[in-house]
Structure 1
Amino acid sequence: MGDLAVGARSGHEGPEERPERPEESVPPAAEDDVTAGGDNGGDSGGDGGRDERDGDGTAPQPKKPRSFWKELPLLIGIALVLALLIKTFLVQAFSIPSDSMQNTLQQGDRVLVDKLTPWFGSEPERGEVVVFHDPDKWLAGEPTPNPNAIQKGLSWIGLMPSAEEKDLIKRVIGVAGDTIECKGTGPLKVNGKALNESSYVYPGNTPCTVDDLGGQFKKKVPEGKIWVMGDHRQNSLDSRYHQQDKYKGFVPVDNVVGRAIVVAWPPTRWSTLPVPDTFDQDLSAAAPGALGLAGAVPLVLWRRRRLTVANARVSGPGTAG
């Protein structure tokens, strides 16, 4: 019995057989980390998922991205805003409703109009094809389109050609200060200089028309106005045939929406709309002051020469005597 008691006591008290306590195996640093996490209640945001654990001790699953269908309305909204800004300040599409600009433009063509440059003070120039608001009932009696609500909405934001039935498209022939003249069948003259319009006037048409409705004219373009004509001269009710309206056939520059720069649709008709070469010649109207100065210079030089000769004749004998 004594041996058993001693053996039992010595086995319990012997340091070599003492079991290690579990808490002593944890490094102090680790204990501090666990304690800090427990004290913060899982609210510390800088330790990743270590402090935010589910009840079973597992890390939470990452958040799932939004579905495409939930983001689609936001994407559509951004696209509509961008389209509206582009249509308002940069480029707008217009549909050609008639044959007045053949063959440059065909009925049904879609053109893109530059609306940016007018914002910087640029004004229409000779030879450009421009879109402008009806100055004074030029389209009276013409059939007007009747787009549905969807077409109106898409047109308003610029995703479809404009449904505005009060816009026209013509070529600028004269700007402020120019004198435009048509006699007989042509040629059309700007400030006395003939235009070679064979590259854009409809084949078989004459540059000027012989009629009593406005085909024969001589007009000076006032400040802030332009004179426009269609390329299909015998099928265009342009400035020539509205000389009785309040603007006398001229179009206010403020009515100009912008310059048509490209035929965008249909693809088979894609092309740019440059200014024809005939407008590259010097068509500027000579100012009266410049003409007066040009005429005065030879007269002044002639008078000075006469005075010089006269003085030489007078001073010559005096010097000799």
Structure 2
Amino acid sequence: MARQGPVTKKAEGVGREKKKGGFRETVLLLVLGVGIAMLLRAFVIGSFYIPSESMENTLLVNDQVVVNKLAGKPERGDIVVFKGWGGVDTIKRVIGVGGDKVVCCDAMKRITVNGTPLEEKSYLYPGDYASGKKFDVTVPAGKLWLMGDHRSASRDSRGHMEEPGGGFISEDAVIGKAVVRYWPLSRGYLFSRPDIFDKVK
């Protein structure tokens, strides 16, 4: 009868090596996954927590959104997170871009951009108005005019007009474009640019 001892020991040794190899692979995959997640968070996507009422009802206090940091140049109607007045991360809607003439308000109390009135009912806070403050501004090149959707509860470009910079925010200050509201789950929503801005020339 053949002796089995040496064969059994060899099999046990191979088994231990496989376990060690499997553990190393698991650790390597875990480290790689964490590294990729950190890179994505730093350069591609981020998460932003809503601290105020200024974007109601589009965004409520405590909502959380995913921000695309590679979305490209901001467009009218985009919801963007940016380094705002005082260096604080802020979220507002882009109403005017470089070269735009933004005025409040026309005879029907609507904001106009380059003479085109904005019908903002799709995102403006119910019962709110376009603006309680009149203004007539031309957005400098490379700058943005930003406003909250809850106009009467938002300190946005209008509230900083008397400061250096005239209330405008540099495009370079934009961190990214809000693409989806993911928390709470019951309010999950994929944002799209309102088509009213397509009429602006």
TM-score range, shorter chain: 0.7 to 0.9
Deviations 1:15-64 (A, max 9, x none): xxxxxxxxxxxxxxxxxxxxxxxxxxxxxxxxxxxxxxx9x764722242
| Residue 260 in structure 1 maps to residue 178 in structure 2 | yes
Are 1:183 and 2:122 counterparts? no
* Deviation of 1:85 (Å): 1.1
Query: Displacement, 1:66?
Result: 2.6
1:273 is aligned, of 153, 177, 191, to 191
Q: Which residue does the alignment assign to 2:60?
A: 106
Q: Which amino acid aligns with 2:120?
A: E
Residue in structure 1 matching 2:123, options 191, 200, 208: 200
Query: Do the aligned partners of residues 58 and 195 (structure 1) sit closer, same or farther apart at CA in structure 2, a change above 3 Å counting?
Result: closer
Q: Does 2:78 correspond to 1:128?
A: yes
Which deviations, in whole Å up to 9, do the C-alpha atoms of 1:214-262 show, x marking residues without a partner?
Answer: x111000001100000000000000000012221100000000111011
1:58–1:189 CA distance, 2 compared to 1 (3 A): closer
Query: 1:89: how far off?
Result: 2.2
Q: How does 1:203-222 map to 2 (within 5 A)?
A: 203-209=126-132, 215-222=133-140
Tell me what 1:89 maps to: 43
Unpaired segments ≥5 residues, structure 1:
1-53, 139-165, 210-214, 285-321
Instruction: Measure, in 2, the Cα distance between the counterparts of 1:177 and 1:222.
Output: 6
Distance 1:71 1:204, change over 3 A: same
Q: Within 1, Cα distance between the matches of 2:146 and 2:78?
A: 10
Higher strand content, 1 or 2? 2
- Structure 2 CA distance for aligned equivalents of residues 110 and 257 of structure 1: 15
Equivalence for 1:315: none
Compared with structure 1, are the counterparts of its residues 237 and 72 closer, same or farther at alpha carbon in structure 2 (3 Å cutoff)?
A: same
Deviates more, 1:261-270 or 1:67-76: 67-76
Q: Which letter does structure 2 place at the counterpart of 1:265?
A: W
Distance between the aligned counterparts of 1:276 and 1:200, measured in 2? 8
Give secondary structure in 2 for the equivalent of 1:170. Answer: strand
TM score, norm. by length of structure 2: 0.88
Larger Cα Rg: Structure 1 or Structure 2?
Answer: 1
Q: Give the C-alpha shift of residue 73 in structure 1.
A: 4.3
- In structure 2, which of residues 4, 13, 19 is the aligned counterpart of residue 66 of structure 1? 19
The alignment yields a C-alpha RMSD, in angstroms, of 2.1
2: CA distance, partners of 1:101 / 1:171: 8
Structure showing greater relative contact order (alpha-carbon pairs closer than 8 Å, 6 or more residues apart): 2
- Matched residues in 1 for 2:19 and 2:70: separation? 38
CA distance in 2 between counterparts of 1:97 and 1:69 reads 43
| AA of the residue aligned to 2:86 | K
Instruction: Give 1:78 deviation, angstroms.
Output: 1.9
Amino acid corresponding to residue 261 of structure 1 in structure 2: V
Aligned to 1:161: none
How do 1:219-238 residues align onto structure 2 when only pairs under 5 Å count?
219-238=137-156
The count of corresponding residues between Structure 1 and Structure 2 is 192
User: How big is the shift at 1:72?
Assistant: 5.3
Hey, what's the Cα distance between the residues in 2 that align with 1:206 and 1:57? 86
Hey, what's the Cα distance between the residues in 1 that align with 2:183 and 2:67? 13
Letter in 2 for 1:123: K
Q: Residue 167 in 1 paired to residue 89 in 2? A: yes
Identity of aligned residues (%): 41
